[in-house]
Amino acid sequence: MGPVWPWLGLAVVLLVADQATKQLILASYQLGDSTPVTSFFNIVRAHNTGAAFSFLAGAGGWQRWFFTAVGLGAAVFIVWMLRAHPGQKLFSFALACILGGALGNVIDRLWHGYVVDFLDFHWAFLAGVFPGGHFPAFNLADTAISVGAVALILDEIRRMRRSR
């Protein structure tokens, strides 16, 4: 069993990086502005009042508080889990990533009323699924949450293999 502080430190690093990049976007771009970086990637400024893939974005405002509450509830649960399992490295890494990302998006919801997104990937083969082939814009918090989710899956696969 190891201490929980390194995992909370990782979550804070991810949270700070997320908020710093979002502040750069807010200071440098107007809503809808876009800068092509490669043939398949743009830096944009987008606002998401919903959750992943703009889920419930047009729900009228209540979703801001719902997703804030869900994010804060998840953060409390994750800290509790980290305290209970700090020695499980992959599991704790996953939780720390999810924690940092969730809190980054919670701060946006509380501060702005929306989540600032700025990473825009697009490929022609996605055109049948997403308008113009553009995957929904996202941010570093979303990336951290996704990395954490993949790490949780890998941790569970490892745990299942060890139990056989």
Question: Is 108 among the residues known to form the active site?
Answer: no
Could you tell me the residue ranges of all domains in the chain? 5-29+48-113+140-163
Would you state the pLDDT for residue 82?
Answer: 94
Say which of 18, 117, 120, 155 is annotated catalytic.
Answer: 117
- Average pLDDT of the residues of the chain: 91
Would you state the pLDDT for residue 72?
Answer: 92
Amino acid type, 34: S
Question: Is 142 among the residues known to form the active site?
Answer: yes
User: Do residues 88 and 149 lie in contact, with contact meaning Cβ atoms separated by under 8 Å?
Assistant: no
Q: Is 0.85 topped by the overall pTM?
A: yes
> Could you give the percent of the chain with pLDDT greater than 90?
74
Say which of 18, 108, 142, 155 is annotated catalytic.
Answer: 142
User: Do residues 120 and 137 lie in contact, with contact meaning Cβ atoms separated by under 8 Å?
Assistant: yes
Q: What is the pLDDT of residues 78-122, one digit of tens each?
A: 999 999 988 899 999 999 999 999 999 999 999 998 999 999 999
CA 106/CA 113 separation, integer angstroms:
9
Would you state the pLDDT for residue 41?
Answer: 97
Would you state the pLDDT for residue 69?
Answer: 85
User: Do residues 118 and 139 lie in contact, with contact meaning Cβ atoms separated by under 8 Å?
Assistant: yes
Q: What is the pLDDT of residues 32-62, one digit of tens each?
A: 999 999 999 999 999 987 666 555 555 566 6
Amino acid type, 46: A
